[in-house]
Amino acid sequence: MSNRARLMHKLHAIILGLLIVVVNVAAQQKARVLVGPNVLVSSGDDGKYYELQVAADPTNPSNLLGSGILQRTKHPLGDQESRGFYSRDGGYSWNTIIYPEAAAFSGDPVVAYGRTGTGYFVTGGVKDSKQATLFYRSEDGGVTWDKPTYLTVIDREQIVVDHTNGRFAGNIYMNGMYEDLEATVTSEQKQNNRIGVYRSSDDGRTWIGLVDVANSYNMPGRRLNSTTPVLFTDGELLVPFLDFAANDEAKTIYAWYHYWFATSTDGGATFSSPQKFTLQGGGEIAGDVFPYLAIDNSDGPLRNRLYIVWAEQYYDPAFPFPQENQPAPRNVRILMSYSSDRGKSWAKPKMISAGTPDIGNQFLPTLAVNSEGTLAVAWYDTRDTLAGHDGVLVQQYLAASVDGGETFLPAVRVSSLPTDIAALGRNLFRVEITGTYGKFSGGLSAYRDYMGMTAASDGTFHPFWIDGRTGSHQIWTARVRVERPDKANTEKSKSVLVEADVSEQVEVWMEPLREFPPAGTVELPIRLKNVSGKPIYGPIKVEVTSLTGSVFNPVTGERNPLDGVLLNAINGKAGVGAVFDYAHALGDFESLPPGAISEGIVWRFKLPSKLMECPRFKFKVTARVEKAQSTDKPKQSNPR
């Protein structure tokens, strides 16, 4: 190639890069984040949840799998159980999956989908009184499950699947930390621990491993743990991990966690030497316990860009600063960096949503990249805590970037209601007394280690978070869309909308009762499902047209009236004629598509004097629908 040709080639690359930047900046300015109805995933009748993950089926965006740890009171089978959840309608409704072998002393559950839609559920558990890793398969997307395959135990196992068409297509990789109890690494004969990887090339039926990635032999006073692996589009596997102080006394300085990674280009058979996450210009990435990684596998210009997010220091809203062995009090922020050279160097870290420096803390971030190359980061945030409030209010937030993490759209609240940590701590959830020993379980649960988020093949993000609005920490989710003018036609429907009675087009869905309503009341979260074949547009209002008791009156031949029991109608009426506003039950979405379900609006009732006297009601639902187009043929004029 001549010097002139090289110069023209370089100039062309620069112009192309500038065009990409201009297009991305324009898209970022016009893009917007839309949050759909909040959906309760778990039921609160048997405990509280934490440590969540969620996955989307690459063959069908309606299929989702979730997981979480259920914390119960003292139980014959143990007080901790890994559970799964599946949705077949894009996250509007969920079913609980109970795994009998994981009902006792299980934890660290994770989920994934295979390249052809096989569902995977993994958890730490027990077999024959020994710890083990349990791997489950489902060939119908999560409805039914095979018996587990038992593997040598790894702690905090993470899983990634090769969904490409490359030479390792369909491979499953599972990394985690495990102990080398026989090794003597110090004079005190402390345990050595390792990072290892299992791999399967037959859809999870059989496994090879463990293959060592790293160990702590050469790190006196340090230990290792694993975090989220990622795959580049050519099948190269990147396994991240972290090192941390081997004892709590050493956790007295800021950023005691250091982040490392190793890669494999032969399908997980061998790995490169570990290296730290090194910043461009020098320095390293270090921060809170577990960072999270994601990769752009889209066909866009930022294909194979690698992202990492982390909290700059530890924070737990249930135990606010100051704490023993914790850094000095300061407002914690979420940081992000990216690598365009497969992890060899990283851009200068930036705050995703700095906000007001002295207001609120941010913690437990997670991230995902969708098929359009849009990056979304979600986290917990206390910025909405009111001045003088006893404790903190926690909300789920999300910010998106359409220019590869260079800039972010304004952060939006995903949770429609806050979690009041102080109120949760006062809620008595269960009591169990054995002899002279009493165990109390409240609504409060620690925000431990991680939460989840995934991106479905249609570009929709599905964050999974714990939320205390019912009285204890349960699992919630929502559909989140990032509208990008450069990727899709986001123009609103030009159809003429008219107000109509849609009572026959909707069906009532009832969420579990609120666990701790105000004294003397009953609270029913009522959702509306669109059972028609056409979208229903907001605003939606529900009017009570009949309200009676459940006791039949033999004299009148009707049921006894039940007047004066509704407490929170928007028009102040307590019986027939009471109206409930469902406008915000659609979130930011303008319509309820066919099969979709709204967020639950709480109907508050005064507790009947006779507990068997349950309210029976009918109602009318009004909303907007598309005006039917006339089928009349235009009249033709008579020829002269």
pLDDT tens-digit series, residues 620-637: 999 999 987 655 554 454
Q: Which of 103-112, 231-240, 397-406, 509-518 has the lowest mean pLDDT?
A: 509-518
Distance separating alpha carbons of residues 413 and 480, to the nearest angstrom: 11
Task: With CA atoms as reference, report the closest residue to 104 among 80, 84, 127.
Answer: 80
pLDDT-derived band at 281 (thresholds 50, 70, 90) equals confident
Residue 251 clears pLDDT 50, i.e. is over it:
no
Place of tokens 């009090």: 329
208 pairs with which residues across the strands? 199
pTM: 0.88
176 CB neighbour count, 10 Å cutoff = 27
pLDDT-derived band at 495 (thresholds 50, 70, 90) equals confident
Q: Mean pLDDT throughout 510-514?
A: 80
pLDDT at 79: 73
Out of 2.40.390.10, 3.40.1350.10, 3.40.50.2300, 2.120.10.10, which CATH number does the structure's domain 29-483 have?
2.120.10.10
pLDDT-derived band at 424 (thresholds 50, 70, 90) equals confident
Q: Mean pLDDT throughout 444-450?
A: 73
Q: Mean pLDDT throughout 210-231?
A: 90
Residue 393 clears pLDDT 60, i.e. is over it:
yes
Q: E strand or H helix at 208, and its extent?
A: strand 208-215
Q: Are strands 64-71 and 80-87 parallel, antiparallel or unpaired?
A: antiparallel
Q: For residue 105, which phi and psi values (nearest 5 degrees)? A: 50, 45
Place of tokens 């737990």: 316
Distance separating alpha carbons of residues 469 and 415, to the nearest angstrom: 10
If one compares 283 and 75, the residue with the highest pLDDT of the two is: 283
Side chain identity at 4, as an amino acid letter? R
Q: E strand or H helix at 25, and its extent?
A: helix 3-30
Residue 457 clears pLDDT 90, i.e. is over it:
yes
Distance separating alpha carbons of residues 467 and 397, to the nearest angstrom: 12
pLDDT at 469: 87
Q: Which of 307-311, 334-338, 357-361 has the lowest mean pLDDT?
A: 357-361
Counting residues of the chain whose pLDDT is more than 70, the rounded percentage is 80
pLDDT at 105: 83
- How far from 43 is each of 155, 394, 430, 549, CA to CA, in Å? 27, 20, 15, 27
Residue 232 clears pLDDT 50, i.e. is over it:
yes
Coil/strand/helix, residue 28: helix
Residue 567 clears pLDDT 60, i.e. is over it:
yes
Distance separating alpha carbons of residues 104 and 442, to the nearest angstrom: 21
pLDDT at 615: 74
pLDDT at 140: 93
If one compares 257 and 247, the residue with the highest pLDDT of the two is: 257
pLDDT at 182: 54
Number of residues in the chain: 640
pLDDT at 294: 97
Residue environment code for 303-338, b if the CB has 16+ CB neighbours within 10 A, otherwise e: ebbbbbbbbbbbbbbeeeeeeeebbeeebbbbbbbb
The whole-angstrom distance between residue 497's C-alpha and the CA centroid of its chain comes to 34
Residue 606 clears pLDDT 90, i.e. is over it:
no
Beta strands in 64-207 (DSSP E): 64-71, 80-87, 95-97, 107-113, 119-127, 130-138, 149-152, 155-161, 172-180, 192-200
Counting residues of the chain whose pLDDT is more than 90, the rounded percentage is 57
Residue 412 clears pLDDT 90, i.e. is over it:
yes
pLDDT at 435: 53
Residue 417 clears pLDDT 50, i.e. is over it:
yes
pLDDT at 181: 53
Residue 248 clears pLDDT 60, i.e. is over it:
no
User: DSSP per residue over 477-488, as a string?
Assistant: E--EEEE-TTTS
Side chain identity at 444, as an amino acid letter? L
Q: Mean pLDDT throughout 469-484?
A: 92
Cα angle, residue 378 at apex, residues 372 and 379 outer, rounded to 5°? 170
Query: Using an 8 Å Cβ cutoff, are 335 and 351 in contact?
Result: yes
- 257-273 pLDDT, tens digit per residue, is 889 999 999 999 999 99
Coil/strand/helix, residue 3: helix
Place of tokens 């143990």: 78
Side chain identity at 394, as an amino acid letter? V
Q: Mean pLDDT throughout 111-140?
A: 95
Residue 116 clears pLDDT 90, i.e. is over it:
yes
If one compares 346 and 632, the residue with the highest pLDDT of the two is: 346
Mention the CATH class of domain 497-626: mainly beta
Coil/strand/helix, residue 197: strand
Q: Mean pLDDT throughout 158-172?
A: 95
If one compares 247 and 461, the residue with the highest pLDDT of the two is: 461
Q: For residue 165, which phi and psi values (nearest 5 degrees)? A: -105, 15
| Domain boundaries defined on the chain | 29-483, 497-626
Residues whose CB falls within 8 Å of the CB of residue 497, separated by 6 or more in sequence, listed in order = 537, 624, 625, 626, 627
User: DSSP per residue over 423-447, as a string?
Assistant: HHHH-EEEEEEETTEEEEEES----
Tokens describing residue 396:
């789920």
If one compares 37 and 330, the residue with the highest pLDDT of the two is: 37
Task: With CA atoms as reference, report the closest residue to 35 among 624, 483, 451.
Answer: 483
pLDDT at 23: 44
Mean residue pLDDT across the chain: 84
